[in-house]
Amino acid sequence: MPSLILRRAIKAISAGLQRELKTLPDSFCGSFQYTTIGKNLTHPIILGALCHCLRQLPSVRHVGVDVRLNRVGTGVKFQPDVVAYSDDALERPLLLIDYESPNSSDLRVIEKDLLAYQRWRGDDQTAPPYIVVTTLPAVAVPSWELRWTYKEGYNAGLQGMRADVSRNPLNFWTAQWLKHIRAEMLEHVTLMNIDRQSVSILALDAKKALP
């Protein structure tokens, strides 16, 4: 996808997603209320909204959900939440998106999303661009949770830091990402964040990323 078209697509997706969020409670993406057992609605509802946003793009004809893009014979696996296709090249995706709810907007973004995409992309400069949408409020949320801190968990080593996270989940996790990220991990990647009912593009400072 050419850079100008990509920029326009990202802008349209961001604006469309924000419109969708206005129809939902402020707590839908601003708390763990809808990311609990028996009421786990955040991920499926936002995925539906993203599919709707993609279908509004003039270059997109088909949208796939939970698509397996595994590279045969290599052992490399990649399974983004949403994949956009044109009408004349179903074998060649236009755009890939993964959505992380409040439950998974943490260090899983590094291994599960950024590294998985770059392993799959390899040296292919024509690989489709990738958007990772996180869900992190930029205000104090005392009830914000810190999960996966057990020994083998993604967030191991962060036990006892729930109060730090809850003071500003967005600031906390972006700072944590920059401790682990390398600049090349952000190539062809756009980080988009949902802050309650607002959507913004996260411009992580590549100068602070590890060499």
List pLDDT tens digits, range 155-206.
999 999 999 999 999 999 999 999 999 989 999 999 999 999 999 999 886 5
Q: What pTM value is reported for the model?
A: 0.94
Range 19-28 contact pairs with CB under 8 angstroms and sequence separation of 24 or more: 20/49, 20/52, 20/53, 21/49, 21/194, 21/196, 21/197, 21/198, 21/199, 22/197, 24/197, 26/196, 26/197
Residue 186 placed within a domain: yes
Residue 164 placed within a domain: no
Q: Find the domain containing 184 and state its range.
A: 3-136+177-204
Q: Give the pLDDT confidence of 106-161 residue by residue, as tens digits.
A: 999 999 999 999 999 998 888 999 999 999 999 999 999 999 999 889 999 999 99
Residue 155 placed within a domain: no
Residue 17 placed within a domain: yes
Residue 144 placed within a domain: no
pLDDT of 1 higher than 80:
no
Residue 102 placed within a domain: yes
Residue 197 placed within a domain: yes
Range 168-175 contact pairs with CB under 8 angstroms and sequence separation of 24 or more: 168/137, 168/138, 168/139, 168/140, 169/105, 169/136, 169/137, 169/138, 169/141, 169/144, 170/136, 170/137, 170/138, 170/195, 171/138, 173/105, 173/106, 173/107, 173/109, 173/134, 173/136, 174/136, 174/202, 174/204
State the CATH number of the domain containing residue 47.
Answer: 3.90.1570
- Provide the domain count of the chain: 1
